[in-house]
Amino acid sequence: MAADTWNLKKSASCFRCGDATIHDIEVDTYSLKIICRDCGFTRYYKFDMVNIP
């Protein structure tokens, strides 16, 4: 499993405030978080499963 947290950015319209702004995306092994820089609205995702071919 990846140990380091990835910090990514995405320009998109916020799901709550609707403004086109930067969203910070933090990805680590067990969670994923998306934060709107404009209104602070945050979506949390949790690790569910892994599929190894």
Amino acid making up residue 30? Y
25 versus 37: smaller Cβ distance to other proteins: 25
Nearest distance from C-beta of residue 37 to other proteins, angstroms: 15
Give least dist CB 45 to other proteins, A. Answer: 4
Please answer whether residues 39 and 16 qualify as being in contact, where contact means their C-beta atoms are separated by less than 8 angstroms: yes
- CB of 36 closer than 8 Å to CB of 49: no
Binding residues for other proteins, per CB under 8 A? 1-2, 4, 6, 8, 10, 12-16, 18, 25, 27, 29, 31-32, 34, 41-53
* 3-state secondary structure (DSSP) of residue 4: coil
